[in-house]
A and B are shown apart, each in its own frame.
Chain A
Amino acid sequence: MSALLQQVISGLSTGGIYANIALALVLIYQATGVVNFAQGEMAMFSTYLAWTMINAGWPYWLAFFTTMVIAFVGGVVIERVIIRPVENAPVLTIVMVTIGLLTIFNSVAGWIYTYTVKPFPSPFSSAPIKLGPVTVSMQEVGVAGVSVATLILMYFFFQHTKVGLAMRAVVENPTSSRLVGVKVSQMLALGWGLAALVGAVAGMMVAPLVFLEPNMMSGILIYAFASATLGGFNSPGGAVVGGLLMGVLENLVGTYITFIGTELKLTVALAVILLTLLVKPSGLFGRAAVTRV
């Protein structure tokens, strides 16, 4: 029983990692209608910036907030400079540009910082906490907590602010948005900025757990993508729940389905997700788009 519990807890903490990045993916999808393949690498790169500052002796929180600002500005600049020329191109073309960004960030990070893993400090204590039979670390709880907090902020932003509403409108119908006075390209830039910011926070939360290295996000991004899909790509809450579920599911499959063991746990976890989606094609919490014939 305690083994099961410990697996679930450990799954939740890994799931928290997925959830953080999934949230950033969903955010940018909601704000720009594009799945940004470079999301993970942008987060990784921001985290390196934070690492550089901390290494230079800055206090953690100063580095944290400075990185957030840089990430936001960086996101805006990327949209303005790199995405804008293909703003009107087909979505797949934009996706290709994000793949290009992915390789650039990954490669440049490796070039500047090398591929040696680096520890990244956590704002939370890493001392283990005993909860009955299971042990968690404050760090893991913190990661999950931050993703929930980000989720709440995002929900508020999208549902209850004028700018959030405008951003949703832009994704749905850019022309009509312009006709009500929404500055579409500003919204897209803002969307990239926000997504980069959320990604940077996620990166700084995740790095203490998985260590900082240029490829730290490649695996996570895949899981995050699966999580976002499981939860529903148009549902931030779904992304978080999807991420946590993904983490737990993976652990339980690896632990209890013994003939599969850890060797096929990813495969089985993905299969379970696909089966779920077969029942509910727009994700657990996603809404199907409204269409009329």
Chain B
Amino acid sequence: MLRKIVNLVLALVLTQFLAVSLGHAEEGVTATEIKIGNTAPYSGPASAYGTILRAAGAYFRKVNDEGGINGRKIVFISYDDGYSPPKTYEMTRKLVEQDHVLLDFGPLGTPCNSAIWKYMNDHKVPQLFVYTGASKWGDPKGHPWTMGWQPTYHAEGFIWARYILDNIPNAKIGILYQNDDYGKDYLSGVLDGLGNKARDLIVKQQTYEVTDATVDSQIVNLKNSGANVFINITTPKFAAMAIRKAYEIGWRPTQFLNFVSASISSVLKPAGLEASKGIISAVFLKDPSDPRWANDPATKEYIAFMRKYYPEGDPYDIFNVSGYSCAQTMVQVLKQCGNDLSRANVMRQAANLRNLQLPMLLPGIVINTSPTDYYPIEQMQLGRFDGQRYELFGPIYTAVSRGKQ
């Protein structure tokens, strides 16, 4: 009797073991479906970003309505992780092991992606177009299964710094940044860009926490430091507060605003258009609330898409543009895969995007990747807000992403 039980147990263990070690050749793909997973903060402190992935999901629906990709429909499974890394890890395992997705598309947040980085690469599951601008995601040698999408925060900070060095001779810089890796990545970009002048030029650095009620105190300190350049590395709500507070207390520096918060409709309008005049931001996407694009066919198509597939979302929210574009990149990769929908091929194709033009990218900005270049978007242009829209000026910068240095 006992021996029977032991045998049974061993048999069970063995089958489990085999099931794991053999792996699955073509996970998440059938003749009619491609399963794509995702985790995003639909709740918790970062839930403002959740809309990005809702927009992406809406775009996949649109693709399905139009016949899918090579006859296969996209099944997009997106879980809420509340911006908590262990939850991301758990939900990602669920996606990979339970839902058997082909790949993880656009998981959002630096700490959340860090939590699954090793797991995804160990299990050789594509972690594609992660939604964070940290520079560490472009590491084809160490982590060949992970790739970013947007320009890195570091790159943007670098561009500002270069601009300041070239155009503002007696700059005294005050910086406000969120006390986490997003903020620190930007900061390091600025520091690298300023090089050995950083010590002289930066007169004050202030941080805030996402749990803070306001950033009034920090703005007062920055003003009192005598800064005439204000680098504003904040998320939309705090960006709006910072711009407004600076205006209210009569501080009129040259302002640089990170593209995370460059949205006219959800940041500059709430902060006050008058208060926002003169703000410089690096842009790579078309802002649908910018009158310049009012008659742009691509923008019109985007707005029509939003109205039809994501009616509860705000079409003028730049986050939605971003999710829309990112999803288009994904679709392009899948199209390129053809019928070889193996994970390895997905990565090969993702690393083989050539001069891809997306409708909502600024004219002149293209996506390029290669087996040694895991940074899809590396170009940005500076724009100055004139009270109505960003007046683009200067060249299209191609930033040297840190990972490649």
Chain B residues within 8 Å of A223, by CB? 213
Chain B residues within 8 Å of A126, by CB? 248, 272
CB pair B314 A10 closer than 8 Å: no
CB pair A116 B48 closer than 8 Å: yes
Which residues 38-55 of B sit at the A interface, judged by CB distance below 8 A?
A: 42-45, 47-51
Cβ-neighbour of A135 out of B211, B241, B249, B319 (below 8 A): B249
CB pair A117 B248 closer than 8 Å: no
> With A117-B236, A117-B270, A211-B240 in contact, do A17 and B214 touch (Cβ < 8 Å)?
yes
Cβ-neighbour of A115 out of B51, B217, B224, B250 (below 8 A): B51
Closest to B319 in A: A116
B218 adjacent to chain A (CB < 8 Å): yes
B185 adjacent to chain A (CB < 8 Å): no
How far, in angstroms, from A210 to B208 measured CA to CA in the complex?
Answer: 14
Which of A51-59, A78-86, A155-163, A250-258 contacts its partner?
A: A250-258
> With A255-B221, A262-B208, A262-B218 in contact, do A117 and B213 touch (Cβ < 8 Å)?
no
The interface bits of chain A over 1-18 (1 if a CB of B lies within 8 angstroms of the residue's CB, else 0) are 001001100110110011
Closest to A262 in B: B207
> With A18-B213, A255-B217 in contact, do A115 and B249 touch (Cβ < 8 Å)?
no
The interface bits of chain A over 218-230 (1 if a CB of B lies within 8 angstroms of the residue's CB, else 0) are 1110110000000
Q: Interface size of A by Cβ–Cβ distance < 8 Å?
A: 43
A118 adjacent to chain B (CB < 8 Å): yes
Chain A residues within 8 Å of B179, by CB? 262-263
> With A117-B240, A262-B206 in contact, do A110 and B47 touch (Cβ < 8 Å)?
yes
> With A6-B224, A128-B249, A262-B207 in contact, do A14 and B51 touch (Cβ < 8 Å)?
no
How far, in angstroms, from A212 to B224 measured CA to CA in the complex?
Answer: 29
Cβ-neighbour of B207 out of A3, A6, A219, A261 (below 8 A): A261
The interface bits of chain B over 265-302 (1 if a CB of A lies within 8 angstroms of the residue's CB, else 0) are 01101101000000000000000000000000000000
A266 adjacent to chain B (CB < 8 Å): yes
CB pair A222 B237 closer than 8 Å: no
Chain B residues within 8 Å of A250, by CB? 217
Chain A residues within 8 Å of B213, by CB? 14, 17-18, 210, 219-220, 223
Chain A residues within 8 Å of B270, by CB? 117-119, 211
CB pair B48 A218 closer than 8 Å: no
CB pair B43 A128 closer than 8 Å: no
CB pair A10 B48 closer than 8 Å: no
Cβ-neighbour of A213 out of B48, B209, B312 (below 8 A): B48
CB pair B220 A7 closer than 8 Å: yes
A177 adjacent to chain B (CB < 8 Å): no
Closest to A251 in B: B217
CB pair A6 B220 closer than 8 Å: yes
Cβ-neighbour of A210 out of B211, B241, B313 (below 8 A): B241
How far, in angstroms, from A211 to B48 measured CA to CA in the complex?
Answer: 13
B81 adjacent to chain A (CB < 8 Å): no
A193 adjacent to chain B (CB < 8 Å): no
Cβ-neighbour of A211 out of B217, B237, B248, B314 (below 8 A): B237
Closest to A107 in B: B43
The interface bits of chain B over 227-239 (1 if a CB of A lies within 8 angstroms of the residue's CB, else 0) are 0000000001100
CB pair A128 B51 closer than 8 Å: no
Chain A residues within 8 Å of B43, by CB? 106-107, 110
B216 adjacent to chain A (CB < 8 Å): yes
Chain B interface bracket (under 10, 10 to 19, 20 to 34, 35 or more): 35 or more
The interface bits of chain B over 175-217 (1 if a CB of A lies within 8 angstroms of the residue's CB, else 0) are 0000100000000000000000000000000111111111011
How far, in angstroms, from A261 to B249 measured CA to CA in the complex?
Answer: 21
Chain A residues within 8 Å of B216, by CB? 10, 13-14, 251
A282 adjacent to chain B (CB < 8 Å): no
Closest to A120 in B: B270
B156 adjacent to chain A (CB < 8 Å): no
A150 adjacent to chain B (CB < 8 Å): no
CB pair A209 B214 closer than 8 Å: yes
B27 adjacent to chain A (CB < 8 Å): no
> With A10-B217, A262-B207 in contact, do A115 and B269 touch (Cβ < 8 Å)?
no
> With A18-B213, A211-B240 in contact, do A115 and B220 touch (Cβ < 8 Å)?
no
Chain B residues within 8 Å of A185, by CB? none
Cβ-neighbour of A218 out of B45, B50, B51, B272 (below 8 A): B45
Most buried by B among A117, A126, A211, A266: A117
B139 adjacent to chain A (CB < 8 Å): no
Which residues 140-166 of A sit at the B interface, judged by CB distance below 8 A?
A: none
Chain A residues within 8 Å of B241, by CB? 209-211
CB pair A128 B248 closer than 8 Å: yes
Chain B residues within 8 Å of A17, by CB? 213-214
Chain A residues within 8 Å of B314, by CB? 114, 116
How far, in angstroms, from A111 to B313 measured CA to CA in the complex?
Answer: 10
How far, in angstroms, from A117 to B261 measured CA to CA in the complex?
Answer: 11
Query: Which are the 5 A-B pairs with shortest beta-carbon distances?
Result: A119-B270, A251-B217, A115-B48, A219-B211, A10-B216
- Which positions in A face B, CB cutoff 8 Å? 3, 6-7, 10-11, 13-14, 17-18, 106-107, 110-112, 114-119, 126, 128, 135, 137, 209-211, 213-215, 218-220, 222-223, 250-251, 254-255, 261-263, 266
Other A-B pairs beyond A6-B224, A262-B207, 20, CB < 8 Å: A10-B216, A115-B51, A116-B317, A117-B236, A117-B266, A117-B267, A117-B270, A135-B250, A209-B241, A210-B213, A210-B241, A211-B240, A214-B47, A218-B211, A220-B213, A223-B213, A251-B216, A254-B218, A261-B206, A266-B211
